[in-house]
Protein backbone atom coordinates (compact mmCIF):
# COMPACT_ATOMS: atom_id res chain seq x y z
CA UNK A 1 0.00 0.00 0.00
CA UNK A 2 1.49 3.32 -0.99
CA UNK A 3 1.66 6.59 0.93
CA UNK A 4 -0.83 8.09 -1.52
CA UNK A 5 -3.46 5.43 -0.92
CA UNK A 6 -2.93 5.74 2.80
CA UNK A 7 -3.39 9.50 2.55
CA UNK A 8 -6.81 8.93 1.02
CA UNK A 9 -7.79 6.79 3.97
CA UNK A 10 -6.65 9.61 6.25
CA UNK A 11 -8.94 12.07 4.50
CA UNK A 12 -11.89 9.72 4.75
CA UNK A 13 -11.29 8.95 8.41
CA UNK A 14 -11.03 12.66 9.21
CA UNK A 15 -14.53 13.16 7.84
CA UNK A 16 -15.97 10.31 9.88
CA UNK A 17 -14.23 10.74 13.20
CA UNK A 18 -13.10 13.54 15.48
CA UNK A 19 -11.78 11.37 18.31
CA UNK A 20 -8.70 12.83 19.98
CA UNK A 21 -6.26 11.49 22.52
CA UNK A 22 -5.18 13.72 25.40
CA UNK A 23 -1.52 14.33 26.25
CA UNK A 24 -0.16 14.29 29.76
CA UNK A 25 2.45 17.05 29.51
CA UNK A 26 2.76 18.79 26.14
CA UNK A 27 5.64 21.24 25.92
CA UNK A 28 4.47 24.86 26.30
CA UNK A 29 5.56 27.40 23.71
CA UNK A 30 7.49 29.38 26.33
CA UNK A 31 9.84 26.40 26.81
CA UNK A 32 10.33 25.62 23.11
CA UNK A 33 13.97 26.72 22.97
CA UNK A 34 15.01 25.74 26.49
CA UNK A 35 14.68 21.98 26.35
CA UNK A 36 17.21 19.18 26.59
CA UNK A 37 17.05 15.42 26.83
CA UNK A 38 18.22 14.00 30.13
CA UNK A 39 21.66 12.30 30.08
CA UNK A 40 22.48 13.69 26.63
CA UNK A 41 24.40 16.79 25.57
CA UNK A 42 23.99 18.61 22.27
CA UNK A 43 22.33 16.00 20.08
CA UNK A 44 19.88 18.06 18.02
CA UNK A 45 19.19 21.45 16.49
CA UNK A 46 16.52 23.14 14.42
CA UNK A 47 16.83 22.38 10.73
CA UNK A 48 15.51 25.74 9.57
CA UNK A 49 17.83 28.23 11.29
CA UNK A 50 21.46 28.73 12.24
CA UNK A 51 22.73 29.80 15.64
CA UNK A 52 26.03 30.39 17.48
CA UNK A 53 25.52 26.95 19.00
CA UNK A 54 25.57 25.34 15.55
CA UNK A 55 28.71 27.26 14.57
CA UNK A 56 30.44 25.93 17.69
CA UNK A 57 29.14 22.45 16.84
CA UNK A 58 30.77 22.57 13.39
CA UNK A 59 34.03 23.90 14.87
CA UNK A 60 34.13 20.90 17.21
CA UNK A 61 33.49 18.52 14.33
CA UNK A 62 36.31 19.93 12.21
CA UNK A 63 38.70 19.82 15.16
CA UNK A 64 37.87 16.13 15.47
CA UNK A 65 38.56 15.64 11.76
CA UNK A 66 41.94 17.37 12.09
CA UNK A 67 42.84 15.37 15.20
CA UNK A 68 41.91 12.06 13.53
CA UNK A 69 45.14 12.08 11.52
CA UNK A 70 43.35 11.67 8.19
CA UNK A 71 45.40 13.96 5.90
CA UNK A 72 43.06 13.52 2.94
CA UNK A 73 40.14 14.62 5.12
CA UNK A 74 41.76 18.04 5.61
CA UNK A 75 41.80 18.57 1.83
CA UNK A 76 38.53 17.03 0.63
CA UNK A 77 35.17 16.03 2.11
CA UNK A 78 32.27 14.01 0.70
CA UNK A 79 28.70 14.34 1.91
CA UNK A 80 25.64 12.16 1.20
CA UNK A 81 21.96 13.14 1.53
CA UNK A 82 19.32 10.38 1.34
CA UNK A 83 15.78 11.54 0.62
CA UNK A 84 12.37 10.30 1.64
CA UNK A 85 10.32 8.26 -0.77
CA UNK A 86 8.54 5.42 1.03
CA UNK A 87 8.77 2.19 -0.94
CA UNK A 88 11.18 3.84 -3.36
CA UNK A 89 13.81 3.83 -0.61
CA UNK A 90 14.98 0.59 -2.17
CA UNK A 91 16.55 2.73 -4.91
CA UNK A 92 19.16 4.11 -2.48
CA UNK A 93 19.97 0.60 -1.29
CA UNK A 94 20.49 -0.60 -4.85
CA UNK A 95 22.48 2.46 -5.86
CA UNK A 96 24.83 2.26 -2.88
CA UNK A 97 25.44 -1.43 -3.55
CA UNK A 98 26.17 -0.70 -7.21
CA UNK A 99 28.40 2.23 -6.26
CA UNK A 100 30.47 -0.08 -4.07
CA UNK A 101 30.76 -2.65 -6.84
CA UNK A 102 31.90 0.06 -9.24
CA UNK A 103 34.82 0.70 -6.90
CA UNK A 104 34.69 4.49 -6.53
CA UNK A 105 32.30 4.99 -3.61
CA UNK A 106 33.87 7.47 -1.17
CA UNK A 107 33.81 7.50 2.60
CA UNK A 108 31.24 10.14 3.52
CA UNK A 109 32.13 12.63 6.21
CA UNK A 110 28.45 13.44 6.68
CA UNK A 111 25.42 11.28 5.88
CA UNK A 112 21.90 12.67 6.28
CA UNK A 113 18.58 10.85 6.03
CA UNK A 114 14.92 11.78 5.89
CA UNK A 115 12.02 9.34 6.30
CA UNK A 116 12.91 6.08 4.54
CA UNK A 117 16.32 7.63 3.89
CA UNK A 118 16.91 7.71 7.63
CA UNK A 119 16.52 3.93 7.81
CA UNK A 120 19.26 3.49 5.21
CA UNK A 121 21.51 6.23 6.60
CA UNK A 122 23.28 4.25 9.38
CA UNK A 123 24.31 1.55 6.91
CA UNK A 124 25.43 4.08 4.31
CA UNK A 125 27.40 5.86 7.04
CA UNK A 126 29.28 2.73 8.10
CA UNK A 127 30.27 1.94 4.54
CA UNK A 128 30.53 -0.97 2.18
CA UNK A 129 30.75 -3.64 4.88
CA UNK A 130 27.06 -3.00 5.54
CA UNK A 131 25.90 -3.17 1.91
CA UNK A 132 24.51 -6.67 2.36
CA UNK A 133 22.61 -5.69 5.50
CA UNK A 134 21.22 -2.62 3.73
CA UNK A 135 20.05 -4.69 0.79
CA UNK A 136 18.40 -7.25 3.07
CA UNK A 137 16.40 -4.51 4.80
CA UNK A 138 14.73 -3.73 1.49
CA UNK A 139 14.50 -7.25 0.05
CA UNK A 140 13.68 -9.58 2.93
CA UNK A 141 10.70 -7.81 4.50
CA UNK A 142 6.99 -7.62 3.78
CA UNK A 143 4.07 -5.50 4.99
CA UNK A 144 3.66 -7.63 8.11
CA UNK A 145 7.20 -6.65 9.12
CA UNK A 146 6.22 -2.96 9.00
CA UNK A 147 2.71 -2.45 10.33
CA UNK A 148 -0.48 -3.99 11.70
CA UNK A 149 -3.87 -2.96 10.33
CA UNK A 150 -5.88 -1.70 13.30
CA UNK A 151 -9.19 -1.95 11.45
CA UNK A 152 -12.13 -0.20 13.10
CA UNK A 153 -10.07 0.49 16.23
CA UNK A 154 -8.02 2.99 14.21
CA UNK A 155 -10.74 5.62 14.53
CA UNK A 156 -10.24 5.75 18.30
CA UNK A 157 -6.49 6.40 18.23
CA UNK A 158 -3.76 8.61 16.74
CA UNK A 159 -3.11 6.43 13.69
CA UNK A 160 -4.69 4.04 11.23
CA UNK A 161 -1.86 1.53 11.47
CA UNK A 162 0.31 0.22 14.29
CA UNK A 163 4.00 0.34 13.36
CA UNK A 164 5.13 -1.83 16.28
CA UNK A 165 6.61 -4.37 13.82
CA UNK A 166 8.75 -1.60 12.31
CA UNK A 167 9.95 -0.63 15.79
CA UNK A 168 10.88 -4.26 16.42
CA UNK A 169 12.74 -4.40 13.09
CA UNK A 170 14.69 -1.22 13.80
CA UNK A 171 15.51 -2.44 17.31
CA UNK A 172 16.83 -5.68 15.86
CA UNK A 173 19.02 -3.80 13.38
CA UNK A 174 20.32 -1.20 15.85
CA UNK A 175 22.58 -3.39 17.95
CA UNK A 176 25.02 -2.25 20.61
CA UNK A 177 27.86 -3.18 18.26
CA UNK A 178 26.41 -0.99 15.51
CA UNK A 179 26.12 1.92 17.95
CA UNK A 180 29.72 1.41 19.03
CA UNK A 181 30.88 1.56 15.40
CA UNK A 182 28.91 4.74 14.77
CA UNK A 183 30.34 6.20 17.98
CA UNK A 184 33.93 5.54 16.88
CA UNK A 185 33.35 7.26 13.55
CA UNK A 186 31.63 10.18 15.27
CA UNK A 187 34.68 10.79 17.46
CA UNK A 188 36.79 10.99 14.28
CA UNK A 189 34.68 13.91 13.07
CA UNK A 190 32.15 12.11 10.93
CA UNK A 191 28.45 12.88 11.35
CA UNK A 192 25.25 10.85 10.93
CA UNK A 193 22.25 13.17 10.87
CA UNK A 194 18.53 12.29 10.74
CA UNK A 195 15.60 14.67 10.36
CA UNK A 196 12.25 14.47 12.11
CA UNK A 197 9.41 16.98 12.22
CA UNK A 198 8.34 18.47 15.55
CA UNK A 199 4.64 18.50 14.74
CA UNK A 200 3.82 20.85 17.64
CA UNK A 201 6.32 23.46 16.45
CA UNK A 202 5.82 22.77 12.71
CA UNK A 203 9.61 22.72 12.33
CA UNK A 204 12.32 20.28 11.21
CA UNK A 205 14.67 18.89 13.83
CA UNK A 206 18.08 17.47 12.88
CA UNK A 207 19.40 14.80 15.23
CA UNK A 208 23.08 13.93 15.60
CA UNK A 209 22.79 10.16 15.76
CA UNK A 210 26.53 9.77 16.26
CA UNK A 211 26.40 11.94 19.37
CA UNK A 212 23.58 9.77 20.70
CA UNK A 213 25.62 6.63 19.99
CA UNK A 214 28.73 8.16 21.60
CA UNK A 215 26.91 9.12 24.79
CA UNK A 216 27.32 7.13 27.98
CA UNK A 217 23.60 7.01 28.57
CA UNK A 218 21.96 3.62 29.05
CA UNK A 219 19.09 5.04 27.00
CA UNK A 220 21.15 5.64 23.85
CA UNK A 221 19.75 2.65 21.99
CA UNK A 222 16.14 3.45 22.89
CA UNK A 223 16.51 7.06 21.78
CA UNK A 224 18.33 6.06 18.57
CA UNK A 225 15.48 3.69 17.68
CA UNK A 226 12.84 6.29 18.55
CA UNK A 227 14.40 8.88 16.24
CA UNK A 228 14.59 6.48 13.29
CA UNK A 229 11.00 5.42 13.92
CA UNK A 230 9.84 9.04 14.15
CA UNK A 231 11.62 10.06 10.95
CA UNK A 232 9.55 7.47 9.06
CA UNK A 233 6.27 7.98 10.95
CA UNK A 234 3.86 9.23 8.29
CA UNK A 235 1.34 11.39 10.20
CA UNK A 236 -1.99 9.70 10.97
CA UNK A 237 -0.89 6.61 9.05
CA UNK A 238 1.58 5.74 11.82
CA UNK A 239 1.50 7.15 15.37
CA UNK A 240 3.78 10.05 16.30
CA UNK A 241 6.74 9.28 18.52
CA UNK A 242 6.72 10.94 21.93
CA UNK A 243 10.12 12.25 23.05
CA UNK A 244 10.56 13.12 26.72
CA UNK A 245 12.39 16.42 27.24
CA UNK A 246 13.28 18.57 30.24
CA UNK A 247 12.97 22.29 30.73
CA UNK A 248 14.07 23.49 34.12
CA UNK A 249 12.81 20.93 36.62
CA UNK A 250 9.82 19.88 34.51
CA UNK A 251 9.45 16.94 32.13
CA UNK A 252 7.39 17.39 28.97
CA UNK A 253 6.67 15.44 25.83
CA UNK A 254 7.27 16.46 22.22
CA UNK A 255 5.56 14.74 19.30
CA UNK A 256 7.79 13.91 16.34
CA UNK A 257 6.68 12.61 12.95
CA UNK A 258 8.06 11.93 9.47
CA UNK A 259 10.91 14.26 8.56
CA UNK A 260 9.47 14.46 5.05
CA UNK A 261 6.61 16.59 6.34
CA UNK A 262 8.96 19.59 6.40
CA UNK A 263 11.41 18.59 3.64
CA UNK A 264 12.20 15.49 1.61
CA UNK A 265 15.96 16.13 1.76
CA UNK A 266 18.19 17.80 4.33
CA UNK A 267 21.84 18.71 4.64
CA UNK A 268 21.91 21.39 7.30
CA UNK A 269 20.32 24.65 8.36
CA UNK A 270 20.28 27.51 5.84
CA UNK A 271 23.16 29.93 6.28
CA UNK A 272 25.56 27.28 7.57
CA UNK A 273 29.09 28.60 6.85
CA UNK A 274 31.40 25.64 6.36
CA UNK A 275 34.14 27.76 4.76
CA UNK A 276 34.65 29.82 7.92
CA UNK A 277 35.03 26.73 10.06
CA UNK A 278 37.40 25.12 7.53
CA UNK A 279 39.70 28.14 7.48
CA UNK A 280 39.93 27.93 11.25
CA UNK A 281 40.53 24.18 11.45
CA UNK A 282 42.50 23.47 8.26
CA UNK A 283 43.87 26.85 7.23
CA UNK A 284 42.06 26.75 3.87
CA UNK A 285 38.86 25.67 2.17
CA UNK A 286 38.48 22.00 1.29
CA UNK A 287 37.07 20.48 -1.88
CA UNK A 288 33.53 19.53 -0.87
CA UNK A 289 31.29 17.13 -2.81
CA UNK A 290 27.61 16.74 -1.95
CA UNK A 291 25.83 13.67 -3.35
CA UNK A 292 22.02 13.53 -3.23
CA UNK A 293 20.11 10.29 -3.78
CA UNK A 294 16.46 10.94 -4.50
CA UNK A 295 14.30 7.91 -3.78
CA UNK A 296 11.73 8.40 -6.51
CA UNK A 297 11.08 10.04 -9.84
CA UNK A 298 10.95 13.82 -10.12
CA UNK A 299 9.88 14.10 -13.76
CA UNK A 300 6.16 14.63 -14.53
CA UNK A 301 4.41 11.40 -15.54
CA UNK A 302 1.29 11.80 -17.64
CA UNK A 303 -1.79 9.81 -16.65
CA UNK A 304 -5.47 10.42 -17.46
CA UNK A 305 -7.18 10.73 -14.06
CA UNK A 306 -10.74 9.61 -13.38
CA UNK A 307 -13.03 12.26 -11.92
CA UNK A 308 -13.47 10.54 -8.58
CA UNK A 309 -12.48 11.98 -5.22
CA UNK A 310 -10.02 9.17 -4.35
CA UNK A 311 -8.28 9.26 -7.74
CA UNK A 312 -8.06 13.05 -7.78
CA UNK A 313 -6.75 13.15 -4.20
CA UNK A 314 -4.20 10.43 -4.92
CA UNK A 315 -2.94 12.30 -7.96
CA UNK A 316 -2.86 15.64 -6.13
CA UNK A 317 -0.87 14.33 -3.16
CA UNK A 318 1.60 12.57 -5.44
CA UNK A 319 2.09 15.74 -7.47
CA UNK A 320 2.54 17.83 -4.33
CA UNK A 321 5.24 15.53 -2.93
CA UNK A 322 7.02 15.41 -6.29
CA UNK A 323 7.24 19.19 -6.57
CA UNK A 324 8.17 19.56 -2.90
CA UNK A 325 11.10 17.26 -3.62
CA UNK A 326 12.09 19.15 -6.75
CA UNK A 327 12.00 22.41 -4.80
CA UNK A 328 14.13 20.86 -2.03
CA UNK A 329 16.75 19.72 -4.55
CA UNK A 330 16.89 23.11 -6.26
CA UNK A 331 17.17 24.87 -2.92
CA UNK A 332 19.93 22.52 -1.79
CA UNK A 333 21.82 23.04 -5.04
CA UNK A 334 21.57 26.82 -4.64
CA UNK A 335 22.72 26.70 -1.02
CA UNK A 336 25.59 24.38 -1.92
CA UNK A 337 27.33 27.07 -3.92
CA UNK A 338 29.94 28.27 -3.12
CA UNK A 339 30.44 26.41 0.21
CA UNK A 340 30.06 23.07 -1.62
CA UNK A 341 32.32 22.63 -4.63
CA UNK A 342 30.20 20.03 -6.43
CA UNK A 343 26.57 19.00 -5.93
CA UNK A 344 25.44 15.81 -7.68
CA UNK A 345 21.86 14.50 -7.66
CA UNK A 346 20.84 10.94 -8.52
CA UNK A 347 17.06 10.53 -8.93
CA UNK A 348 15.24 7.53 -10.34
CA UNK A 349 16.02 6.96 -14.02
CA UNK A 350 13.32 8.63 -16.11
CA UNK A 351 12.12 5.38 -17.66
CA UNK A 352 12.51 3.18 -14.58
CA UNK A 353 9.82 0.45 -14.84
CA UNK A 354 6.92 0.59 -12.41
CA UNK A 355 6.40 -3.16 -12.27
CA UNK A 356 8.78 -5.41 -10.39
CA UNK A 357 9.56 -9.11 -10.52
CA UNK A 358 9.18 -11.39 -7.55
CA UNK A 359 12.93 -11.37 -6.85
CA UNK A 360 13.38 -7.62 -7.17
CA UNK A 361 13.72 -5.23 -4.26
CA UNK A 362 10.50 -5.05 -2.25
CA UNK A 363 9.04 -1.82 -0.90
CA UNK A 364 9.65 -0.99 2.74
CA UNK A 365 5.97 -0.06 3.02
pLDDT attached to residue 16: 47
pLDDT at 271: 85
User: What per-residue confidence (pLDDT) applies to 350?
Assistant: 62
Burial class (CB within 10 angstroms; exposed 0-12, middle 13-18, buried 19+) of 13: middle
Strand partners, 210: none
Q: Which domains does the chain have, with CATH numbers?
A: 31-346 (3.40.1090.10)
**196 Cβ neighbours under 8 A, 6+ residues apart:** 204, 205, 207, 227, 230, 231, 241, 256, 257, 258, 259
Known catalytic residue at 258: yes
Mean pLDDT, consecutive 10-residue stretches, the chain (365 aa), reads 50 51 87 95 95 94 96 95 86 92 95 96 97 90 83 73 94 98 98 98 98 97 98 93 96 97 92 91 93 87 92 87 88 76 65 44 29
Catalytic member of 118, 208, 258, 263: 258
Q: What is the CA radius of gyration of the chain?
A: 20
Q: Quote the pLDDT of residue 98.
A: 93
**Is 183 considered catalytic here?**
no
Q: Of these residues, 83, 115, 118, 215, which one is catalytic?
A: 115
Cα separation of 340 and 11, whole Å? 41
Q: How far apart are CA 30 and CA 162, in angstroms?
A: 32
Contact 291, 112 (CB under 8 A): no
The whole-number pLDDT of residue 29 equals 96
Amino acid sequence: MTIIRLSLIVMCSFLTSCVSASRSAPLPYSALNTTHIAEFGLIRFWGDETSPEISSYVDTQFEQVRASGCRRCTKEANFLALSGGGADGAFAAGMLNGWSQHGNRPVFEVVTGVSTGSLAAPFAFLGQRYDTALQEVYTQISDKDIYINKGAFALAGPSLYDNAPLRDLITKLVTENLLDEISREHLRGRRLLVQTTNIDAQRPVIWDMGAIAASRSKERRTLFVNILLASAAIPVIFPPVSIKVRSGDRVYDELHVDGGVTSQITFGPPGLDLNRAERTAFGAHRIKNLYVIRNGKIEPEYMAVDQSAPDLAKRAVGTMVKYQTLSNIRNLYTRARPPISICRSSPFPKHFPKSRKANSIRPIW
